[in-house]
């Protein structure tokens, strides 16, 4: 969620010893308040040095949803609000969720952007974790880099919830993130035999390291997993979290030499 912050009032004299602490000590104190939003807001009102230390923690995560009744959390209001305050470069974790209630809805597509919103969206320059719900990749092609190119250098973790598109299009999107370590694919609704027509000319521009964690839930598109392994020259995840995945054995074999931790479920309907 995003939360508004107010810059502290300036004063020529200040009697509180807290305002004279070295910045390193201030940042150490603030680090213990990372999850205490009310205390962080109070710290931003103490003085300028406390404001500088606290405000990045207040705006570390930005979550936007089209499913909320509260308009201030709906696309694109949080983007516009934080852009006006110059806070978007502070965002390290960015989520767009519930952009489509069903598979036939608009989802996350270029229809959500106009020139002004795209310009503001491009101010997200330090995102390390990106979570996208109902991303409609075909509708962004072939200009997908225009929308997401500014995120590809910094993003280390990618979560795709019900991504739409052929397996090559999805792999192409994953391959945009040249430093990607972690990947999550979840809640895929494409049934066996309903794969979209594929285009073999879609070759991912980069081969991400993919050396962190892999989380896959309720996923039936084993062809996508095979193509990802082939096009990336293998995968090297150290941690796996798998639930209801077709092709589980394929993933385990691919990461046999690097896998350190594996999370499975005894009641998994597809456990192998």
> pLDDT tens, 218-269?
998 999 999 999 999 999 999 999 999 999 999 999 999 999 999 998 888 7
d(CA 190, CA 194): 6
Q: Is the pLDDT of residue 27 over 80?
A: no
| C-alpha dist (Å) from residue 218 to 80, 135, 243 | 34, 17, 6
Cβ burial of 175 (10 Å; 0-12, 13-18, 19+) is buried
From 1-15, 95-109, 226-240, 253-267, the region with the lowest mean pLDDT: 1-15
Through-space distance between the first and last CA atoms of the chain, rounded to whole angstroms: 38
Strand order of the sheet with strand 157-161? 61-65, 93-97, 129-133, 157-161, 182-186, 213-219, 239-245, 261-263
Average pLDDT rounded to a whole number, residues 61-67: 83
pLDDT attached to residue 213:
97
Average pLDDT rounded to a whole number, residues 68-97: 87
pLDDT attached to residue 268:
80
Helix/strand/coil percent split, the chain, to 5? 35, 15, 50
pLDDT attached to residue 13:
47
Q: Is the pLDDT of residue 11 over 50?
A: no
Largest CA distance in the chain: 72
pLDDT attached to residue 104:
47
Q: For residue range 133-180, what is the model confidence (pLDDT) as tens digits?
A: 999 999 999 999 999 999 999 999 999 999 999 999 999 999 999 999
Q: Is the pLDDT of residue 188 over 70?
A: no
79 pLDDT band (50/70/90 cuts)? very high
- Across-strand partners of 136? 164
d(CA 66, CA 98): 6
Q: Is the pLDDT of residue 53 over 90?
A: no
Residues 96/132, Cβ–Cβ less than 8 Å: yes
d(CA 162, CA 105): 12
Q: Which two tokens stand for residue 184?
A: 């999550």
Q: Is the pLDDT of residue 48 over 50?
A: yes
- Across-strand partners of 133? 161
Considering the chain, what percentage of its residues have pLDDT values greater than 70? 84
d(CA 131, CA 177): 13
Q: Is the pLDDT of residue 102 over 50?
A: no
d(CA 83, CA 98): 22
88 pLDDT band (50/70/90 cuts)? very high
pLDDT attached to residue 58:
80
pLDDT attached to residue 69:
58
Share the mean pLDDT of the chain.
85
Alpha-carbon Rg of the chain, whole angstroms? 21
Cβ burial of 204 (10 Å; 0-12, 13-18, 19+) is buried
């Amino acid at each position: 969620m995003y939360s508004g912050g107010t810059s502290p009032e300036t004063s020529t004299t200040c009697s509180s010893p807290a305002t004279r602490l070295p910045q390193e000590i201030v940042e150490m104190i603030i680090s213990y308040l990372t999850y205490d939003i009310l205390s962080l807001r109070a710290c931003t009102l103490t003085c300028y040095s406390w404001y500088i230390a606290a405000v990045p923690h207040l705006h570390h995560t930005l979550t936007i949803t089209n499913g909320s009744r509260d308009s201030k959390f709906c696309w694109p209001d949080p983007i516009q609000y934080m852009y006006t305050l110059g806070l978007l470069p502070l965002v390290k974790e960015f989520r767009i969720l519930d952009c489509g209630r069903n598979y036939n809805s608009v989802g996350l597509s270029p229809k959500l952007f106009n020139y002004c919103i795209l310009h503001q969206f491009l101010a997200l320059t330090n995102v390390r974790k990106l979570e996208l719900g109902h991303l409609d990749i075909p509708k962004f092609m072939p200009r997908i880099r225009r929308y997401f190119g500014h995120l590809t250098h910094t993003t280390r973790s990618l979560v795709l919830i019900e991504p739409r598109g052929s397996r090559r299009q999805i792999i192409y999107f994953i391959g945009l993130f040249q430093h990607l370590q972690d990947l999550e694919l979840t809640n895929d609704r494409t049934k066996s035999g309903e794969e979209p027509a594929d285009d073999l000319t879609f070759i991912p521009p980069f081969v991400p390291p993919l050396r962190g964690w892999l989380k896959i839930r309720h996923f039936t598109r084993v062809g996508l997993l095979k193509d990802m392994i082939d096009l990336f020259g293998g995968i090297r995840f150290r941690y796996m979290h798998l639930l209801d995945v077709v092709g589980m054995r394929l993933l385990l074999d691919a990461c046999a030499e690097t896998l350190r931790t594996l999370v499975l479920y005894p009641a998994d309907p597809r456990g192998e």
